[in-house]
Amino acid sequence: MKMPKLKGFEFWRNTLRGARYVVAPMVDQSELAWRLLSRRHGAQLCYTPMLHAQVFVRDANYRKENLYCEVCPEDRPLIVQFCANDPEVFVQAALLAQDYCDAIDLNLGCPQMIAKRGHYGAFLQEEWDLLQRMITLANEKLSVPITCKIRVFPEIAKTVKYAQLLETAGCQLLTVHGRTKEQKGPLAGVASWEHIQAVRKAVNIPVFANGNIQYLSDVERCIQKTGAHGVMSAEGNLHNPALFEGRNPVVWEMAEEYLEIVQKYPCPLSYVRAHLFKLWHHTLQIHQQLRDELAKVKTLEGLVAVNKELKLHCQEEMASLKEEDMSKGGLPFSHWICQPYVRPGPKETCKENGTIGIEGSNRGKRALEDEDDGNSDPLSKNKQKKKLRNPNKTFDPSLKPKYAKCDQCGNPKGNKCVFNLCRGCCKKRAFRETADCPGHGLLFKTKYEKSLLWKSSQSNLPNIEMIAQKGEMKETRLLKEPIDGVA
């Protein structure tokens, strides 16, 4: 007999076991190995990384790599998060995932440019009709509850109305990140617990709070201030997986345990490297040569070796210094201790990218300056690498070649396209109109005409065969006449 679908507080208490300590969905970072490490150290609920609903429906390998192969009894309760902007596609993806999780979450909080281009995440927060249709349909079709993760509006009243709309549509649990979609990167600032508190008071479903969580004491303060039923951590968890235990262990303890789990539950090397960069963040500001080694190694064994070397350096430093002499360099703890990283604001970024001396060591990030040609405009690290590979490369937008735009979508059009379109739009139009575009190598009209000729030739074959048969009969009669005369 099929169990009835639990809702709201009943779902939170029974299925999620009243979870208060939650690990956020993080792209390429909340994979199975990291979730298991976090659960061992106090996390009570985890989310998968954000998955693209359309790709999940279309690509069996994507499903296998991101969910189906990551089934583990220890990894529950688990919520699978999707980004989507189409009700039907979202529900199709959720139906394929619902047997592997305890709930499906709709991402309405991603503020990144990729979300803007893909039209999902926080960039759907003004499209209330669409969101209502998506959540209502999912709530009707799925056998597991539907949850949402949102960002706030600047106005508390609008945020509350937004949350109530989602609840009415069928959302059974709401995670509120107390920042607007404009608050990201250096402009992240402080999350507003006042917004979260207002939402918590206005809705009748469980609410998780997200933002400003660096220590376990912050978790308790947040719950007390907002009245939230649980607290979600992203950055804090990445820098200290033992955050929910209230501990600040040495970095290598967490790093070695994580690497052991990765041996059992493999994941892409880029995920592992990113986690080690987060865990060793403060130490790598001092040991720049090991930072470069960590960035270059191509195997898991290589990452393990760099991790051991970092551990050795830290242990030697600990042995050579007395406790009272250990410089923290403005950090709450020594650099080899797991601790939060406070993202610098716009005014502080230049300091972070410069040289900050600690006992004569360079602890600043590499300067993002293109010093070779005397240009003081900042270059990203990615652009610096491109510049090293090709010294003549320029990033001046005014020097970039200007392309004529497609009449329909704005992408560069084909120079020889008969419709003045890009290849994608040209293909659709040529197919629709049964036309040719030699510029893009599209020959729909030519192929159609050839197919008609072939069909007509096939239909004439019976006539040809009949004529051939009659000719053979006539020829036979002519041959028989002289033979009869001789006889």
The residue assigned the tokens 């309760």 is: 77
Alpha-carbon separation of residue 471 from 372, 458, 466, 476, 484 (angstroms):
88, 21, 9, 9, 20
Taking the C-alpha atoms of residue 148 and residue 93, their distance in angstroms, rounded to an integer, is 16
In a 3-state reduction of DSSP, which class is residue 370?
A: strand
β 146-151/174-177 pair status:
parallel
Within a 10 A sphere around the Cβ of 433, how many other Cβ atoms?
11
Helix axes 251-264, 32-40, angle to 10 degrees: 130
In a 3-state reduction of DSSP, which class is residue 91?
A: helix
> With 0-12 CB in 10 A as exposed, 13-18 as middle and 19+ as buried, what is 437?
buried
Name 81's Cβ contacts closer than 8 Å, sequence gap at least 6.
25, 47, 48, 49, 50, 51, 104, 105, 106, 107, 149
Give the tokens for residue 237: 């968890």
> With 0-12 CB in 10 A as exposed, 13-18 as middle and 19+ as buried, what is 28?
middle
The residue assigned the tokens 């002499």 is: 325
Give the tokens for residue 272: 């592992």
* The one catalytic residue among 110, 171, 267, 426: 110
Whether residue 367 contacts residue 354, with contact meaning beta carbons closer than 8 Å, is answered with yes
CA angle 306, 307, 310 (to 5 degrees): 85
Is 110 assigned a catalytic role? yes
Q: Which residues are catalytic?
A: 110
